[in-house]
C-alpha cells in the first residue's frame, strides 16, 4: 500500500535517516519504535512532505509522494497527526476539526465525518465551542486525532499520541486507535510507549540512530532479547 | 462639556478609519510575521487611483472603492509573490530582510507616484466634503460619518470572511501554526498572497475613504505607515480585534491631544502613547482582550 525505499534524509549536514526502507500493508497497524532522536518523527515528516528526502522514494498506491508538495499529500489519503498535537490554539474545537477536511472529497462529507468524530469522542461535542488552546492534554489529543480523521485517511499516521498523557488516558487513546483500525483505516504509529504499542500492532520496525535494525510482528518483537533489554527493561 | 463630547466624536470617527488601516497591517503581521513598512505607501497608491478617477472621469470617491480595492489587492499579491516570497527561498537570508524589502517597496511606490503626479498637493473636493450636521451642539462631518459606516461594514465583512469561510479559516490557521496548516492541505504560499492582497485592499479602502477630506501628496505614505504600526502595537501584534481598539484609541488620543494640549502635538500624542504602551503594556490590548 505504502512503500518506502532507500530513504536518506538530512537536517543541514546531519544525516537523520540512513537507507530506510519499509512498507505498510492495507488495514494493518504498523508501529515504528525507537528512542528519542532515532528518526521516527523524521520518517513521518518525510512521508507528509515536511522534510525532503535527499534520496529514496515514497510510493503510495502507485503515486510518488516524495515528488508532490506537502499541502497536496493529504488529498491522497495519507494524513499526519503530528507530534505535540499542533492544534490551532485560537480556534474552537469544531473549527480545528473542520480544518482537517479542506480537500474536496472530505469537504463534501464534512458534516457526516464530523458526526462520526463526535460519536467517537463525545467529549469533543461538549467542548466544540471552546478554544483548543484551553483544553486539557487528553482532550487536545482527541481533537488532533479527530482532525486527522476529518481528512478521511486511508493511512492515519500518528506521532506519539500518548505523549504527556496519564497512563489511563494513554490506554484510552490506544483503544481508540484499535477502534479506528477496525473501521478499515490503516494505522502507522510512532511510539515511545513500547509495551502498549507492541500490544496493539500487527507489525513493528525498530529504529536506531536513523537505521531500521529490527522488524517483525508484535509478538516476535516482544519476545526479542534486544527489544526486551533496550526498550522493555526486562 | 460640549467641547469634550465634540472631541470624543471626532476622535471616534477618525478612529474607525485608523482601525481599518491597522487591521490590514495586523493581518499581514499575523500570517507572515513581518511588519509591512510599505503599508502607508500602498494606501497612498490607492488614494492616487481614487484621485485619478475623480479628476479624469468625475467618479465619486466612494464609488471608486470598487476600483481601488481590487487594484490594490492585485498590487499586494504581486508584491508578496514576486518580491517577498522569493526572499524566503534563499536560506542564507534572514526573514527580517523581508521587512527591509517592504521599506524599498515603499520608497519605489512613493517615487513612482511623484514621477507621475509630481509633489503637488491634490484633493478630491466633493459637494459634501465640508458638509456637517448637528446633534444638539455637537457637529458631525458628513464624510467622516459615511467613512465610519463603511469602515464598520468592512470590518464585519472581514470578520465573517475570517470566521465563516474555509479560506478565512485557512488564513487564521496559517497564522497560528504554519506547519500544521500545511499538513491540513493548506498551500501556505497561496495564503500569503491572499493575506497581503487583503491587507493592502483594506488600507486602500481607508485611503479612498480619506480622499474627500484629505490632501494627497506622494510622501503621505510614511506617516500612515507609522500610524499603522502604532495601532498594531497598541492592539497587540497580529490581533485583529486589537487593531480595532488600537485604531480607536489612537484616534481618540490624537483628538484629545489636539483639543486639550495643542494642535501641533496631534501626531506626537500617538507616539508618546506608543512608547508608554511598549513600556507598561508590552503586548498591547491583546493582553487584556485575549483575542
Percentage of chain B surpassing pLDDT 70?
96
**Separation in Å, CA B142 to CA A131, B53, B101, B126, B135:** 41, 21, 39, 11, 12
Mean pLDDT of B42-49: 96
A83 and B CB contact within 8 Å: no
Nearest-by-Cβ selection for A88 from B177, B182, B291: B177
Chain B contact probe: residue of A99, A110, A157 with most B CBs at under 10 A = A99
Would you say residue B91 has pLDDT above 70?
Answer: no
User: What mean pLDDT do residues B164-190 have?
Assistant: 93
Sole residue written with cell 491522497: A76
Q: Is the CB of A82 less than 8 angstroms away from the CB of B183?
A: yes
Q: Which residues of B touch A87 (CB under 8 A)?
A: 177, 180
pLDDT above 70 for B287: no
| A50, A88, A100: residue with CB nearest B176 | A88
As assigned by CATH, the class of the B2-289 domain is mainly alpha
Q: Would you tell me which residues 156-215 of chain A have a C-beta closer than 8 angstroms to some C-beta of chain B?
A: none
Mean pLDDT (chain B, rounded): 90
In the predicted structure, residue B187 carries a pLDDT above the cut 90: yes
Q: Do A88 and B173 touch (CB under 8 A)?
A: yes
Q: Which own/partner contact pairs does B255-258 have at CB distance under 8 Å and 24+ positions apart?
A: B255/B7, B255/B8, B255/B10, B255/B11, B255/B14, B256/B7, B256/B11, B258/B7
Tell me the per-residue pLDDT of A126-172, one tens digit each, with 9 for 90 and over: 999 999 999 998 899 999 999 999 999 999 999 999 888 888 888 88
- Give me the residues of chain A with pLDDT under 70, please: 234
> Nine-digit cell at A142?
482527541
Find the residue in A nearest to B191 (Cα). A71
**What is the distance in angstroms between the Cα of B168 and the nearest Cα belonging to chain A?**
11
Model pLDDT for residues B151-173, shown as the tens digit of each residue: 999 999 999 999 999 999 999 99
pLDDT in tens, B228-275: 999 998 888 888 888 999 999 999 999 988 888 888 887 788 888 888
Assess whether pLDDT exceeds 60 at residue B290: no
Instruction: Report the pLDDT value the prediction gives residue A203, as an integer from 0 to 100.
Output: 93
Cβ of A107 within 8 Å of Cβ of B172? The answer is: no
Q: How confident is the model at residue B138 (pLDDT cuts 50, 70, 90)?
A: confident
Q: What is the mean pLDDT of residues B281-290?
A: 69
DSSP-assigned states of every residue in B159-188: HHHHHHSHHHHHHHHHHH-HHHHHHTT--H
CB contact under 8 Å between B183 and A48, yes or no, is yes
β-bridge partners, B241: none
Looking at residue A35, its pLDDT comes to 84
pLDDT (mean) for B121-150: 89
Say what the pLDDT of residue A120 is.
92
The b/e string for A25-59 (b: 16+ C-beta within 10 A; e otherwise) is eeebbbbbbbeeebbbbbbbbbbbbbbebeebebe
**Chain A closest-CA separation from residue B151 CA (Å):** 25
Mutate to test the interface with A, among B165, B166, B183, B239 (most CBs of A within 10 A): B183
Q: Provide the pLDDT for residue B95.
A: 62
Which of A147-156, B9-18, B123-132 shows the lowest mean pLDDT across its residues? B123-132
pLDDT (mean) for B69-85: 95
Q: Where are the domains of chain B?
A: 2-289
Residues of A in contact with B184 (CB under 8 A): 74, 99-100, 102, 147, 151
Main-chain dihedrals φ then ψ at residue A80, nearest 5 degrees: -110, 120
- DSSP string across chain A: -EEEEEEEEEETTEEEEEEEEEEE-TT-EEEEEE-TTSSHHHHHHHHTTSS-EEEEEEEETTEEGGGS-HHHHGGGTEEEE-TT----TTSBHHHHHHHTT-SHHHHHTHHHHHHHHHHH-HHHHHTTTSBGGGS-HHHHHHHHHHHHHTT--SEEEEE-TTTT--HHHHHHHHHHHHHHHHTT-EEEEEES-HHHHHHH-SEEEEEETTEEEEEEEHHHHHT-HHHIIIII--
> Of B89, B159, B179, B184, which to mutate for an interface test with A (greatest number of A Cβ within 10 Å)?
B184
- When CB atoms are compared, the residue of B176, B186, B291 closest to A71 is B186
Examine the pLDDT at B22 and tell me if it is beyond 80: yes
Q: What pLDDT was estimated at residue A21? A: 93
Inform me whether the pLDDT recorded for B291 exceeds 60: no
Annotate B48-76 with DSSP letters as a single string. HHHHHHHHHH---TTTTHHHHHHHHHHHH
Which residue of B lies nearest to A69 if distances are taken between CA atoms? B187
The number of residues in chain B equals 291
- A88 has a chain B CB within 8 A of its CB: yes
Interface of A with B in 29-48 (CB under 8 A): 48
Contact assessment for residue B26 and residue B237, using Cβ atoms and an 8 Å cutoff:
yes
pLDDT band at B209 (very low <50, low <70, confident <90, very high): very high
Q: Give the residue from chain A lying closest to B176, CA to CA.
A: A88
| Residues in chain B closer than 8 A to A107 (CB atoms) | 166
List of residues 6+ apart from A185 with CB closer than 8 A: A149, A153, A154, A155, A156
pLDDT band at B63 (very low <50, low <70, confident <90, very high): very high
Amino acid at each position: 500500500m505504502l512503500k518506502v525505499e532507500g530513504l536518506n534524509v538530512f537536517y543541514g549536514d546531519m544525516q537523520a535517516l540512513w537507507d530506510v526502507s519499509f512498507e505498510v500493508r492495507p488495514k494493518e497497524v504498523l508501529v515504528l519504535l525507537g528512542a528519542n532522536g532515532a528518526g521516527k518523527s523524521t520518517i513521518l515528516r518525510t512521508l507528509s512532505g515536511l522534510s525532503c528526502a535527499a534520496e529514496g522514494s515514497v510510493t503510495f498506491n502507485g503515486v510518488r509522494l516524495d515528488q508532490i508538495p506537502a499541502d497536496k499529500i493529504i488529498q491522497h489519503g495519507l494524513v499526519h497527526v503530528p507530534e505535540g498535537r499542533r492544534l490551532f490554539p485560537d480556534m474552537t474545537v469544531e473549527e480545528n476539526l473542520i480544518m482537517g477536511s479542506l480537500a474536496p472529497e472530505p469537504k463534501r462529507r464534512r458534516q457526516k465525518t464530523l458526526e462520526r468524530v463526535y460519536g467517537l469522542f463525545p467529549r469533543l461535542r461538549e467542548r466544540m465551542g471552546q478554544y483548543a488552546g484551553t483544553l486539557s492534554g487528553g482532550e487536545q489529543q482527541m481533537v488532533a486525532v479527530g482532525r486527522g480523521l476529518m481528512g478521511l485517511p486511508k493511512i492515519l499516521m500518528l506521532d506519539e499520541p500518548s505523549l504527556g498523557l496519564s497512563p489511563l488516558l494513554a490506554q484510552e487513546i490506544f483503544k481508540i486507535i484499535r477502534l479506528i483500525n477496525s473501521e478499515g483505516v490503516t494505522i502507522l504509529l510512532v511510539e515511545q510507549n513500547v509495551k502498549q504499542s507492541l500490544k496493539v500492532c500487527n507489525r513493528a520496525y525498530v529504529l536506531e540512530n536513523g537505521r531500521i535494525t529490527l522488524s517483525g510482528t508484535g509478538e516476535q518483537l516482544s519476545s526479542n532479547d534486544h527489544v526486551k533489554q533496550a526498550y522493555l527493561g526486562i | 462639556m460640549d467641547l469634550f463630547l465634540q472631541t470624543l466624536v471626532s476622535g471616534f470617527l477618525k478612529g474607525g478609519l485608523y482601525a481599518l488601516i491597522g487591521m490590514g497591517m495586523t493581518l499581514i503581521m499575523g500570517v507572515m510575521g513581518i511588519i509591512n513598512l510599505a503599508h502607508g505607501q500602498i494606501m497612498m497608491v490607492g488614494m492616487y487611483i481614487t484621485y485619478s478617477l475623480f479628476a479624469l472621469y468625475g467618479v465619486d470617491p466612494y464609488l471608486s472603492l470598487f476600483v481601488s480595492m481590487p487594484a490594490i489587492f492585485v498590487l499586494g499579491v504581486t508584491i508578496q509573490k514576486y518580491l517577498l516570497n522569493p526572499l524566503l527561498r534563499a536560506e542564507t537570508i534572514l526573514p527580517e530582510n523581508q521587512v527591509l524589502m517592504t521599506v524599498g517597496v515603499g520608497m519605489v511606490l512613493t517615487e513612482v507616484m511623484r514621477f507621475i503626479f509630481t509633489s503637488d498637493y491634490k484633493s478630491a473636493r466633493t459637494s459634501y466634503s465640508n458638509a456637517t450636521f448637528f446633534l444638539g451642539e455637537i457637529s458631525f462631518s458628513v464624510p467622516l460619518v459615511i467613512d465610519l459606516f463603511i469602515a464598520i461594514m468592512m470590518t464585519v465583512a472581514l470578520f465573517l470572511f475570517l470566521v465563516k469561510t474555509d479560506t478565512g479559516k485557512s488564513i487564521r490557521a496559517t497564522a497560528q501554526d504554519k506547519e500544521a496548516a500545511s499538513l491540513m492541505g493548506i498551500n501556505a504560499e497561496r495564503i500569503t498572497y491572499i493575506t497581503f492582497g487583503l491587507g493592502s485592499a483594506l488600507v486602500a479602502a481607508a485611503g479612498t475613504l480619506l480622499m474627500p477630506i484629505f490632501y494627497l501628496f506622494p510622501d503621505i505614505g510614511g506617516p500612515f505607515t507609522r500610524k499603522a504600526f502604532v495601532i498594531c502595537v497598541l492592539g497587540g501584534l497580529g490581533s485583529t480585534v486589537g487593531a480595532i481598539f488600537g485604531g480607536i484609541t489612537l484616534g481618540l488620543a490624537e483628538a484629545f491631544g489636539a483639543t486639550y494640549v495643542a494642535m501641533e502635538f496631534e501626531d506626537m500624542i500617538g507616539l508618546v502613547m506608543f512608547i508608554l504602551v511598549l513600556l507598561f503594556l508590552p503586548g498591547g490590548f491583546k493582553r487584556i482582550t485575549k483575542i
